[in-house]
Amino acid sequence: MKKKEKSAQLAARHADIFRCPVCGADMHVREQASLVCRNAHAFDFAKQGYVNMLNKPVKTQYDKALFEDRHAFITESGFYLALHTAIAETVGQVTGESSLKVLDAGSGEGSHLARIMADIDREDAVGVGVDIAKEGIMMAAKHYPEQLWLVGDLADLPIADAKSDVILNILSPARYDAFNRVLAPGGCIIKVVPGAGYLKELREALYKGTDKAQYDNADTVALFEAQYGPSERMHITKSVPLDEAALRHLSGMSPLAWNQAPGELDDFITQARTVTLDLEILIGRK
């Protein structure tokens, strides 16, 4: 069976998760080819198996090369292992109404969601990744056909009201109005934000001596807690040895490096050997 049809079948089993981005109506899968609402707004499954549910194309700075580096770094370096284990433990304890629906809001190329779903290993669980960057979602669908992948905007999620048992929001912007609309009663939201030390070696290589070399997550945490009250927090911090290949992927995968001059990170790639993982996991409940 073709990828597109396989994804359409998976989507048909979980059709109650979708919402028409044009009119807000429920959706169903038509002829293993499209998601359609009762007002005939239709969105086709691409041959890679994802569905583009944006009303108009959006250009972002996240391109194919960045997502390729993210994919290689996340899947090959082991850098985020402790993060995946901690999130999977929390997600695995949530009970869904019928199946366990895990929405990754701002999923990028999908490796975090795929790893977490593999770690929780529950037959009744399905992951749905949404990201505004088509290049990321295309890559996610190519590598991870066991989950559902949508190009969509966090501000206007193509996801039904109160059907997501878990929302993951990993190193991505948040839209709490939209998240609260789609979160199921009793569901939880897991937001991952950088700590002050996150990738500090890369930050220092790029911004030495400027105030960009520092990062403070206090505002982001305060916004989260204004929604969900004082959150359960887990702090993961580690110094991780990385080889040259991993450092090269790291240098290409981070928005931190968007404005680097050619060759600027050569010394970082060949000299640095350990890099700091410093992440806060914030858990909120509805």
Binding site for Zn ion (CB under 5 A): 20, 22-23, 25, 37, 39, 41
Shortest distance, CB of residue 258 to ligand SAM, whole angstroms? 11
Smallest gap from Cβ 226 to Zn ion, in A, equals 33
Identify what 79 binds: Zn ion, ligand SAM, none; CB under 5 to 8 Å per kind.
none
SS3 label, residue 107: coil
Cβ count within 10 A of residue 208: 9
Find tokens 């001596």 and name the residue: 209
Task: Tell me if 190 sits within 8 A of 211, measured CB to CB.
Answer: no
User: The tokens of 35 are what?
Assistant: 């998601």
Smaller CB distance to ligand SAM: residue 6 or 143? 143
Cβ proximity to ligand SAM: between 76 and 124 the closer is 76
- Residues at the contact surface with ligand SAM, assessed by CB under 6 A: 60, 62, 70, 106-108, 112, 131-133, 136, 153-155, 170-173, 255
In the complex with Zn ion, the residue whose CB is nearer, 36 or 281, is 36
H or E, element range at 27: strand 27-30
Check if the beta carbon of residue 155 is closer than 8 Å to that of residue 132. no
Rounded-to-integer distance, Cα 47 and Cα 142, Å? 9
Q: Which residue is nearest to ligand SAM (CB)?
A: 108
| Distance from C-alpha of 52 to C-alpha of 54, rounded to nearest angstrom | 6
Distance CA 259, CA 128 (A): 32
Cα separation, 206 vs 226, whole angstroms: 33
At closest approach, how far in Å is the CB of 8 from ligand SAM? 23
Q: Which is nearer to ligand SAM, 9 or 60 (CB)?
A: 60
The CB-of-43 to Zn ion minimum distance in angstroms stands at 9
Residue 166 interface partner, choices ligand SAM, Zn ion, none, CB cut-off 5-8 Å depending on type? none
* Least CB distance to Zn ion at residue 77 (A): 42
* Residue 31: count of CB within 10 angstroms of its CB: 8
Which residue, 25 or 82, is less far from Zn ion as judged by CB?
25
